[in-house]
C-alpha cells in the first residue's frame, strides 16, 4: 500500500513538469523534467545519464549487464503536447488530481504515466532485493511529440551501447478496460504545409471579385480534391505499395470488443465516415488517410469584411501504412496539388516531419512472451491483437538501426483524451502497468 502511495506521489511530481517539447520557451522545464527523471532512475538503483542533444535531452539508464541474459530496451517519452486552452480543462493540466480513480493531467496517458509504471515496476523488483531477470536499458526521450528529430542520430552514435534483443514500449492504448492489448502495427505520418498566394494585398471583393482568383477558394478546392466521393484519397500513387490486411487480422479484429459504437461515444459524433469498402477498425488501423489539421486565411474577426484575402494556408498530415513510404507520398501529394492548382495564384509547399509505419509479428517468440505477460496481469479476456492508427516513428527506426523488434503494450483507454483537454489515466492501469513491467521482464527472460 505504502509503495503504491509513493509511486503515485512520484508520478504526480513527474506530471507537474510542463515538459512541452513543441514550445521553445519551455525548454528549461523540459530539461528540468529530464534531470528529475534521471534522479529517479538513479534512486531506484539503476545508473542514469542525461544526454544533451541539439534539441531536448535523452535520458538513459541501465542495470549492470551480465552475459547470458537477454537485453531489453524500454523506450518512452517524457515530453508532452501543449495543454491547449486551460478553460477546457476541469483541473489545471500540470496540477495532477485523482477523481473517481482516474488521474487527470497532461501526459498522464501519453506518455508519463505509462513509462513511469515501467520505472516503478523495476523499482519494485529491485526493492524486493531481487535482481532484474534481464539486462535492462531505459531510453526516455524528450522529443517524441515533435517527431524525434535528434533520436535517429543518437541511435547511430550509441548503436553499440544500445544493442538489445527486444524493445518494449507502452505508448499505445488498450481497446477496453481490463482487455489485454498487444499492438503489432503503427501507422506512419508525413506532414506538409501549403500556402496559396494571390494578390499583393487584401483586395476589395466588390471591385475585384469575379476577376481575381480568391486564394481561400482555391485552397478549399485543393483540399477538396484530395478525396473522392467514396472517401478514398484521389492522389495518383497514394496507395502504391499498400500492403493488404491479412485474413487472420480481419478475423482477430472482428472479435475485439471495440468498434463504431465506442468511437461514436468517445468522440461525440453522430455517425462515422471514411473510405468505402472497409470497416472502421480497418480504416483507422490498416488504411492510409489524408487529414487537414488546420486551415486559415482571410478575415476572422467579428462582422463582415468584404475582401479577397491575399493568401490562405493549411496544415496537412497523412497517416501511412506498411508498404508506403513517407517521402514518396509527400511527393505524390505535391504533384497532385500543383496539377490541380489554377493559374493566377502561387502554391507554396513546405514539407514537414515524417515517420515510417511499423508492422511486426505478434506471434513471434517475443510477441508470445508479451502475450503471456499481458494475460497474467489482465486475466479473463483474450489478448486483443491490434494495430494502432497513431504513430511512434522511432519504432521503425529501432528496427532499422538496432535491428530489434518492438512490443507495444499500452494501457491508455479509448477515452484517455491524449493530446486533448482532461487527458487521463486510471490508477488501476498505472498499477497494471507496474505489474506488467515485472511480468514482461520475467517472460522475456524465460524466452
Ligand atoms: N502515443 C502517441 C502515439 C499513439 C497515438 C499510439 C494513438 C497509439 C495510438 C504518440 O505520443 C504521438 O502522439 N505520436 C504522434 C507522432 C507525431 C507527432 C510524429 C502522432 O501519432 O500524432
Ligand atoms: Zn502523443
Ligand 1 atom closest to the Cα of residue 191 is 19
Are residues 182 and 98 located together in one domain of the fold? yes
Rounded distance from Cα 422 to ligand 2 centre (Å): 14
Rounded distance from Cα 183 to ligand 1 centre (Å): 13
Neighbours of 169 (CB within 10 A): 26
Rounded distance from Cα 82 to ligand 1 centre (Å): 14
CA gap 316, 334 in Å, rounded: 11
Segment 425-432 mean pLDDT: 98
By most ligand atoms within 8 Å of CB, the mutation choice from 21, 56, 75, 110 for ligand 1 is 110
Are residues 387 and 305 located together in one domain of the fold? no
Rounded distance from Cα 108 to ligand 1 centre (Å): 14
Task: Say yes or no: CB of residue 189 within 6 Å of ligand 1.
Answer: yes
Task: Say yes or no: CB of residue 171 within 6 Å of ligand 1.
Answer: yes
Task: Determine the structural domain holding residue 325 and report its residue range.
Answer: 188-246+275-355
DSSP for residue 174: -
CA-nearest of 10, 19, 135, 11 to 73 is: 135
Q: pLDDT over 70 for what percent of the chain? A: 99
Taking CA atoms only, the protein residue closest to ligand 1 atom 20 is 391
CA gap 75, 392 in Å, rounded: 11
pLDDT of residue 447: 85
Asked if pLDDT for residue 1 goes beyond 80, the answer is no
CATH code of 105's domain? 3.40.630.10
On the question of a cis peptide bond just before residue 246, with omega within 30 degrees of 0, the verdict is no
pLDDT tens by residue, 375-424 = 999 999 999 999 999 999 999 999 999 999 999 999 999 999 999 999 99
pLDDT tens by residue, 326-339 = 999 999 999 999 99
Are residues 225 and 313 located together in one domain of the fold? yes
Segment 213-238 mean pLDDT: 98
Are residues 110 and 76 located together in one domain of the fold? yes
Task: Say yes or no: CB of residue 405 within 6 Å of ligand 1.
Answer: no
pLDDT tens by residue, 340-356 = 999 999 999 999 989 99
Ligand 1 atom closest to the Cα of residue 146 is 18
CB 309 within 8 A of CB 186: no
Are residues 145 and 228 located together in one domain of the fold? no
CATH code of 232's domain? 3.30.70.360
Look at residue 258 and tell me if it is in a domain: no
pLDDT of residue 110: 98
Neighbours of ion ligand 2 (CB under 5 A): 110
Rounded distance from Cα 293 to ligand 1 centre (Å): 14
Segment 287-292 mean pLDDT: 98
pLDDT level of residue 246 (50, 70, 90 thresholds): very high
Ligand 1 atom closest to the Cα of residue 171 is 1
Taking CA atoms only, the protein residue closest to ligand 1 atom 7 is 390
Look at residue 222 and tell me if it is in a domain: yes
Taking the CA of 171 as reference, the closest ligand is 1
CA-nearest of 59, 206, 240, 182 to 436 is: 182
Are residues 235 and 316 located together in one domain of the fold? yes
Sign of torsion over alpha carbons 135, 437, 392, 369: positive
- Pick from 334, 355, 376: which residue ends a domain? 355
Are residues 12 and 92 located together in one domain of the fold? yes
Task: Say yes or no: CB of residue 388 within 6 Å of ligand 1.
Answer: yes
pLDDT level of residue 3 (50, 70, 90 thresholds): low
Rounded distance from Cα 74 to ligand 1 centre (Å): 17
Are residues 101 and 126 located together in one domain of the fold? yes
Are residues 197 and 237 located together in one domain of the fold? yes
By most ligand atoms within 8 Å of CB, the mutation choice from 55, 111, 145, 326 for ligand 1 is 145
Name residues whose C-beta falls within 8 Å of residue 340's C-beta, 6 or more positions apart in sequence: 221, 222, 225
Rounded distance from Cα 393 to ligand 1 centre (Å): 8
Taking CA atoms only, the protein residue closest to ligand 1 atom 15 is 391
Rounded distance from Cα 342 to ligand 1 centre (Å): 35
**End-to-end C-alpha distance for the chain, whole angstroms:** 31
- Pick from 332, 355, 378: which residue ends a domain? 355
- Structural domain count of the chain: 2
DSSP assignment of 240-293, as one string?
Answer: TTPPPPPHHHHHHHHTSS-SHHHHHHHHT-SS---STTS-HHHHHHHS-EEEEE
Rounded distance from Cα 6 to ligand 1 centre (Å): 29
Are residues 206 and 344 located together in one domain of the fold? yes
CB 309 within 8 A of CB 297: yes
pLDDT of residue 5: 66
Are residues 375 and 394 located together in one domain of the fold? yes
Rounded distance from Cα 419 to ligand 2 centre (Å): 6
Are residues 178 and 219 located together in one domain of the fold? no
Angle at Cα 83 formed by Cα 148 and Cα 274, nearest 5°? Answer: 70
- Pick from 305, 327, 355: which residue ends a domain? 355
By most ligand atoms within 8 Å of CB, the mutation choice from 142, 169, 171 for ligand 1 is 171
Segment 141-151 mean pLDDT: 95
Taking CA atoms only, the protein residue closest to ligand 1 atom 18 is 145
Mean pLDDT, rounded, of the chain: 97
Task: Say yes or no: CB of residue 110 within 6 Å of ligand 1.
Answer: yes
Instruction: Write the Ramachandran bin of 422: left for phi over 0, alpha for psi from -120 to 50, otherwise beta.
Output: left
Ligand 1 atom closest to the Cα of residue 353 is 19
Amino acid at each position: 500500500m505504502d509503495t503504491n502511495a509513493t509511486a503515485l506521489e512520484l508520478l504526480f511530481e513527474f506530471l507537474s513538469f510542463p515538459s512541452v517539447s513543441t514550445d521553445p520557451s519551455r525548454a528549461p522545464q523540459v530539461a528540468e523534467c529530464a534531470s528529475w527523471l534521471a534522479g529517479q532512475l538513479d534512486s531506484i538503483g539503476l545508473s542514469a545519464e542525461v544526454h544533451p542533444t541539439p534539441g531536448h535531452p535523452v535520458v538513459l539508464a541501465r542495470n549492470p549487464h551480465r552475459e547470458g541474459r537477454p537485453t531489453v530496451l524500454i523506450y518512452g517519452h517524457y515530453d508532452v503536447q501543449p495543454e491547449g486552452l486551460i478553460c477546457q480543462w476541469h483541473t489545471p493540466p500540470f496540477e495532477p488530481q485523482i477523481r473517481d480513480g482516474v488521474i487527470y493531467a497532461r501526459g498522464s496517458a501519453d506518455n508519463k504515466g505509462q513509462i513511469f509504471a515501467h520505472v516503478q515496476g523495476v523499482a519494485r523488483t529491485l526493492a524486493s532485493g531481487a535482481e532484474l531477470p534481464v539486462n535492462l536499458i531505459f531510453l526516455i526521450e524528450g522529443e517524441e511529440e515533435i517527431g524525434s528529430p535528434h533520436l535517429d542520430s543518437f541511435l547511430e552514435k550509441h548503436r553499440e551501447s544500445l544493442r538489445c534483443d527486444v524493445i518494449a514500449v507502452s505508448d499505445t492504448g488498450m481497446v477496453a478496460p481490463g482487455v489485454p492489448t498487444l499492438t503489432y502495427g503503427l501507422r506512419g505520418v508525413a506532414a506538409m504545409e501549403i500556402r496559396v498566394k494571390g494578390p499583393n494585398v487584401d483586395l476589395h471583393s466588390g471591385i475585384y471579385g469575379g476577376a481575381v482568383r480568391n486564394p481561400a477558394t482555391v485552397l478549399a478546392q485543393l483540399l477538396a480534391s484530395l478525396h473522392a466521393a467514396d472517401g478514398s484519397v484521389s492522389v495518383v500513387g497514394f496507395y502504391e505499395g499498400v500492403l493488404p490486411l491479412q485474413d487472420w487480422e480481419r478475423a482477430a479484429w472482428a472479435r475485439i470488443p471495440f468498434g463504431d459504437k465506442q468511437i461514436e461515444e468517445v468522440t461525440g459524433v453522430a455517425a462515422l465516415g471514411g473510405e468505402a469498402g472497409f470497416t472502421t477498425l480497418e480504416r483507422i488501423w490498416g488504411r492510409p488517410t489524408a487529414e487537414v489539421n488546420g486551415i486559415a486565411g482571410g478575415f476572422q474577426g467579428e462582422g463582415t469584411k468584404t475582401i479577397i484575402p491575399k493568401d490562405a494556408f493549411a496544415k496537412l498530415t497523412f497517416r501511412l501504412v506498411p508498404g508506403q513510404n513517407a517521402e514518396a507520398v509527400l511527393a505524390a501529394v505535391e504533384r497532385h496539388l500543383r496539377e490541380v492548382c489554377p493559374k493566377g495564384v502561387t502554391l507554396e509547399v513546405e514539407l514537414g516531419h515524417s515517420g515510417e509505419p511499423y508492422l511486426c509479428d505478434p506471434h513471434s517468440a517475443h510477441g508470445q512472451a508479451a502475450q503471456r505477460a499481458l494475460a497474467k496481469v489482465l486475466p479473463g479476456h483474450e489478448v486483443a491483437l491490434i494495430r494502432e492508427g497513431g504513430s511512434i516513428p522511432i519504432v521503425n527506426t529501432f528496427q532499422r538501426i538496432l535491428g530489434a523488434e518492438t512490443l507495444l503494450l499500452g494501457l491508455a483507454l479509448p477515452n484517455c483524451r491524449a493530446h486533448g483537454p482532461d487527458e487521463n489515466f486510471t490508477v488501476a492501469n498505472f498499477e497494471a502497468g507496474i505489474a506488467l513491467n515485472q511480468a514482461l521482464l520475467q517472460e522475456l527472460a524465460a524466452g
